[in-house]
Amino acid sequence: MTGASSGIGHAAALAFAAAGDRLVLAARARPGLDKVAAQCRAAGAEVLVVTADVTRPGSLDAVADAAAGGFGGIDVWVHTAAVMVYGRLEDVPAEIFDRVVETDLLGSAAVARTALPRFRAQGHGVLVFGGSLLGTIAAPYMSAYIASKWGLRALVRVLRLETRDAPGIHVCLVAPGAVNTPVYRNAANFAGRIGRPPPPVDPPEKVARAILRCAERPRATVNVGAAGTFVRLGFTLFPRLYDTLVGPLMRRGGLSREPVAPTPGNVLAPLPPSGHSLHGPWKPRRVLRAGTVLGAAAVTVLAVRGLARGRTGR
């Protein structure tokens, strides 16, 4: 499991541990991994820990070798490692933009390049990627992350086509909307305000349960979060209205009022242990109510606009 030291990866590790699975946990930062490993062992799981960086593909071989040597092979590889940057494209340093793409997209390809040959050799395996609602829509101030997640969705689709000759191999994508994890505060930031998950916000445990179900009964794509359906519909069916609304909504719901000086966040290097945790500081239940109202309002606007156009066209 790559990206296991915090957020969704942390929650997924706990979910697999509770299910009785044996785990190899990997991420860049050893202190965060050791904390997660201790929690998984307390749940009764056998756990190995490997420090690995997906931007250094050779380190992924160590993850695979640990699984093969310790447990005899890899049945499921869950990949949730990702970094993020906020800011307009022209304000984001090229080094930061490129590293986000390298981590989130090229790192995913490196994981697939490591896992799939081993799956073929043993005749089976499930590869689960952590995607995002932002892999199907667009929003301002997150160009590197969104480009990467769009690319990941395409990569996963291609990998499914290329493994059709191997019925025992499954490539899956679990795509949540906003999740209460530290990724937003840990992100690189050149937008002037700290990012936050726009409502409605799901807990990482909800996404972890979806990942576990996908590993047990593989599905091509699993979307997590009901609001995502409405957002995708608006993006697809009403692009002009969507483009008008998404900027103000992003500035109001996706950026906090807390100012921040330009920072590389955790993009170039891991943050101290305080930056690794299961949850972010947001309260999903309260934000969920606000998001439900916001989503309902947006759907109403879209529906009224659609009806008005229909009448005009008759």
* Residues contacting 131, CB < 8 A, separation 6+: 149, 152, 153, 156, 173, 174, 175, 176, 221
> In the numeric block, which tokens belong to residue 28?
């860049």
3-class SS of residue 180: coil
Whether 284 and 202 have beta carbons less than 8 Å apart is answered as: yes
Identify the H or E element spanning 255.
strand 255-259
Whether 271 and 107 have beta carbons less than 8 Å apart is answered as: no
Among 86, 145, 184, 242, the active-site one is: 145
Strand spans (E) along 101-168: 125-130
Strand spans (E) along 28-75: 47-51
Degrees to nearest 5, angle at CA 77 with 280 and 98: 60
Degrees to nearest 5, angle at CA 187 with 210 and 201: 40
Backbone angles phi, psi at 260, to 5 degrees: -150, 135
Any catalytic annotation for residue 145? yes
Where do the H-state alpha helices sit in the chain?
Answer: 7-18, 30-42, 58-71, 94-101, 107-122, 143-162, 183-186, 204-216, 227-237, 239-249, 284-313
18 to 15, 41, 241, 294: CA distances (angstroms): 5, 10, 45, 35
Q: Would you please indicate which residues are annotated as catalytic (active-site) residues?
A: 145
